[in-house]
Structure 1
Amino acid sequence: MTAKQNSSLGIVFILGLLAMLMPLSIDMYLPALPVIAAQFNVPDGSAQMTLSTYILGFALGQLLYGPMADSLGRKPVILGGTLVFAAAAVACALSQTIDMLITMRFFHGLAAAAASVVINALMRDIYPKEEFSRMMSFVMLVTTVAPLVAPMVGGAVLVWFSWHAIFWILALAALLASAMIAFFISETLPPERRQKFHIRTTLGNFATLFRHKRVLSYMLASGFSFAGMFSFLSAGPFVYININHVSPQHFGYYFALNVVFLFVMTMINSRFVRRVGALNMFRAGLWIQFAMAVWMVVCALFDVGFWALVFGVAAFIGCVSMVSSNAMAVILDEFPHMAGTASSLAGTFRFGIGAI
C-alpha cells in the first residue's frame, strides 16, 4: 500500500478507530469510578487518581513516542504502543489494590500515547495544513462514536459483570486494533526523511519549539481547552451520580449530550476550515469555550438548574475538537520536518495540563 492509498477515507476511518482507544479507556471507565471507590473502601479522590495517572502517563508518553516516530518510522511505534496498551489493560483488570490500579493506569496511559502521536504525524505526512485539519476533523468524528456509547456500555458492564470486565474489553479492542495496524497501515515516513535518535538532537528540537512563541501559545491554549474537559471527566461522574442522583447506567445518556455537541462542532469545523482557515476556526473555538466557562460559573453561583449546567458542559466540550485539530494543524505547518516531535510536545501540553 502506497502513501497515496493511505490518503483514502478508508485509512482515515481506520485511524479514527485507532484513536478511539484513548477515549474508550476513559469514557467507558467513568461510571465505574464511584464503584471502584466503594469496592476498595477508599475516598473518591483515590478513585479519581486512576484517571489522573492515566492522563499523566498519556502526557509523558507523547514526549517519548514523537522522537521515536521521527526516527524509527510511524508503523512500528504505533503497533508496539498498541500491544503494550493491551498488556496494561490486562494488568488493570487483575489489580487487587487501588495502588496497583493507579500504577497500572499510568502505564496504560503511557502506551495509549503512541496512537495519538503517530496518527497526527502520519496524517501530516500525507496532507497539507488546511486538508490536515479537515481530515483530522473526520478522524475525530469517527472517534466521537466512542464517548457516545462508551459510558452506556460501561454502565451496562457494571450492572451485568464488574469494573474488571471493562479492562478485559479494552484489551480485546487493542488486540483487534493491532491487527488492523499490521495489515492495513503502511509506513508513510521513508528512511531518507527520518532523523537519527539522539538525546541532544531531541532536546534541541524541543528547545526550538519552546522558543517559537506563537507555537507555544497554541500549545498552551489547546492544553487549557483540554483541562476544562478533563475537569469534567474527573469530577463529572461524582457531580452527576452522587450529587444529582443520576444512576450509573443512565450517566451515559447525559454524557452523550457532550458528544452530540462535539459531533456538531466537528462537522462545522470540517465545513468552514477551508474557507476561513485553521487559525480563525481555532480562535472561534476558544471564544465559545470562554463564554461557556463564564456560563458554568453563573450556574454554580446562582443555582439555575441541573440542565443549564449540562448544557454549559456540553457546549464547552463540543468545541474541544475545533480547538485541538486546528491548533495541531497550525503547529505542524510550522514544523513539518519534525512532525512527530512537534505532535508529541503539543500532546504533552494538552494532556499534561489536563492531568494537573
Structure 2
Amino acid sequence: MKNLNLVVFILALLNTLESLSIDLYLPAFPSMAQIFKTDIGHIQISISVFFAGFAFGQLLWGPLSDRKGRKPILYCGLLLFITGATAIFFTSNIYVLWAMRFLQAFGGSAGIVVGRAIVIDLYDKQKSIAIFSQQSQISGIAPIIAPLLGSVFLKFWGWNSSFAFLCIMGLITFFMVYKYVPETHVKTDLSTDAENERGLKDQLKMIITNRDFINSTMVGSIAFASLIIYISSAPFLFMELHGFSSGVFSFIFAFNSLALITAAYITPKLIKRINNSTLLFTATIVLLIVCALHILIAAGNIAVALEIAMLYLSLLAIGILFPITSAHALSPFKEGRGTAAALLGFTQLIITFLMSALIGFLEADSIIPMVVARAGMALIAVWFGYRIFKTRTVPV
C-alpha cells in the first residue's frame, strides 16, 4: 500500500479545497458587489448556495463510493469542482455565479465524504480520531492563509484570480489522487439494481437507527454550522459593522483560525488522558458558555477585542469536536461507510444552510441574531453531548 502519511496529506488537501473555496474570496465581497452590480447580501448568497451543493452532492457520492469504489468518485467530483471554478473566473453575472458555486460544491463534496470513508477504511476508531486531527491541522492552515492570500489576489489580479487559483489546486489534487491514493474499497456493484436498492435501504435503516451515529452527527453538525455561520458573518461583523479594512479583517480572521489548528494539535493528546465522551461533552459546555458570553459582549458593545476572544475560544471548542464526532459517527459501521459519511455531511450542511438562511432573514444592521443563534445551537449540542457522555457507549 502507498505511504499512508502521504495519503493522509492528500485527504487533508481535499478538505482544504472546501475551506479555500469559502474563505479565499471573502475579502473580495465588496468589490464583487460592484462588479456584479448588486449588494453584498447577494454575494453572500453564493456561500449558502455553495453549502446546498455540498449537502446534496454528498448524498450522491457517498453511496456511489460504496458501490463503485472510492477513487472513481474522487475523479468525478474533482472534475466538476474544476469546471465550476473555471466558469466562475469568466462570469460577471450573479445568477451564473450562484449556479457555478453550486456545481463547484457539488463536485468538491466528493473529496470530503469519500475522504472520511477512506480514513475509516484504513484505521480503527481511536486511530481515526488522531488521523482526523492530523487532517484538521493541515486543512486548518487554509482559513488562516486564505483571506490573506485572497487580499493579495484581489489587489494585484482582481477578484476572479481566487477562482483561477482554486482551479489550479483542483488539478494538482486530481493528479495526486491518481498517483498516490490507493483504492480502499472493493467494488460491490455486481448485483442487480433491485438488490442494490434493497441494500441501500437496509444500510440507511441501520445507520439512522444507530444511537452513536445520531448523537455524534447532531453534535458535529451543530459545531460545523456554528463555524460556518461565523465565517459567513465575519465580513459583515468586522468590515461593515466595525469598519476594518479587508487587510485588517484578513489578519483577524487568520488569528481566529489558529484556534482550529490548536484544537487539532491538542485533541490527540487529550484523548490519551480523557475519555472520548467526556472530552466531547466538556467541549460542548465550553462552547455554550463562550457563546453566551458573546451575547452579553455584543449586546453591550463592550469591546471588539473581547468579541474576537470569544470567537477564538468558540472555534477552539469546535475544533476539538470535529475529529471526535466524525470518528464516533462513522466507526460503528463495517459496511456502508460511504453512505454513513454522506448522511453525516448532509446533516451538517442542511443544518448550516437552514441556520444561515434564518440569520440572513433576521439580520439587518446587527450581529445579535448570529450570536444568539450560535448560543442556541450550543445549548442543543450540550444536550446531545450529555447523551453521549451518559451512555458512555464509546470506549476510550
TM-score above 0.5: yes
Q: What amino acid is aligned across from residue 291 of structure 1 in structure 2?
A: I
1:84 aligns with 2:84: no
Change in Cα spacing, 1:172 to 1:193, as seen in structure 2 (3 Å) is same
* Residues 80-159 of structure 1 aligned to structure 2 (within 5 Å): 80-159=76-155
Aligned to 1:50: 46
Distance 2:204 2:135 in 1: 27
Task: Please state whether the residue corresponding to 2:283 is helix, strand or coil.
Answer: helix
Please give the alpha-carbon distance, in whole angstroms, between the structure 1 residues aligned to 2:295 and 2:352.
19
Give the distance between the partners of 2:152 and 2:65, measured in 1 at CA.
38
Cα distance change, pair 196–300 in 1 and its aligned pair in 2 (3 A): farther
Per-residue CA shift, 1:76-111, capped at 9, x if unaligned?
111221121111101111222111101111111111
Cα drift, residue 196 of structure 1: 7.5
Structure 1 contact 155–250 (Cα < 8 Å) conserved = no
What is the letter of the counterpart of residue 37 of structure 2? Answer: N
* Structure 2 residue 59 is the aligned partner of structure 1 residue 63: yes
Aligned to 1:240: 238
Taking a change above 3 Å as real, the CA distance of residues 307 and 213 of structure 1, as seen in their structure-2 partners, is same
Asked if 2 retains the 8 angstrom alpha-carbon contact of 1:133 and 1:278, the reply is no
Q: How many residues are treated as equivalent by the alignment?
A: 352
Counterpart amino acid of 1:104? M
User: Which of residues 209, 212, 224 in structure 2 aligns to 1:211?
Assistant: 209
Secondary structure of the structure 1 residue equivalent to 2:160? helix
Pair 1:168-2:135 in alignment? no
Following superposition of structure 1 onto structure 2, how do residues 1-356 of structure 1 map, counting pairs within 5 Å? 2=1, 5-6=2-3, 8-191=4-187, 198-356=196-354
Query: Segments of 4+ in structure 1 off by > 4 A?
Result: 192-197
RCO higher in structure (CA 8 A, sep ≥6): 1
Query: Separation in 2 of the partners of 1:137 and 1:120?
Result: 12
TM-score normalised by length of structure 1: 0.94
Q: Distance in 1 between matches of 2:266 and 2:298?
A: 29
Structure 1 unaligned segments of length 5 or more: list them. Answer: none
After superposition, give the CA deviation of every residue in 1:145-173 in whole Å (9 maximum; x if it has no partner): 11110000001111112111111110011
> Contact conserved, 1:34 with 1:238, CA < 8 A, in 2?
no
Q: Supply the distance in 1 between the matched residues of 2:78 and 2:105 (Cα, whole angstroms).
A: 11
CA distance in 1: counterparts of 2:348 and 2:56, whole angstroms: 11
Structure-1 separation of matches of 2:298 and 2:233: 14
Aligned equivalents of 1:165, 1:270: Cα separation in 2: 37
**Structure 1 pair 42/128, CA: closer, same or farther in 2 (3 Å)?**
same
CA distance in 2 between partners of 1:188 and 1:274 (Å): 28
Say whether the 8 Å CA contact 1:226–1:350 is kept in structure 2: yes
- CA-atom RMSD, angstroms? 1.8
Shift of 1:10: 2.5
Q: Deviations over 1:160-201 (max 9, x none)?
A: 121111111100110010000010111011346999873443
Change in Cα spacing, 1:193 to 1:311, as seen in structure 2 (3 Å) is farther
1:271-296 deviations in Å (ceiling 9; x for gaps): 12233343333222222211121121
**Aligned residue identity for 1:294:** A
Contact 1:120–1:343, Cα closer than 8 Å, also in 2: yes
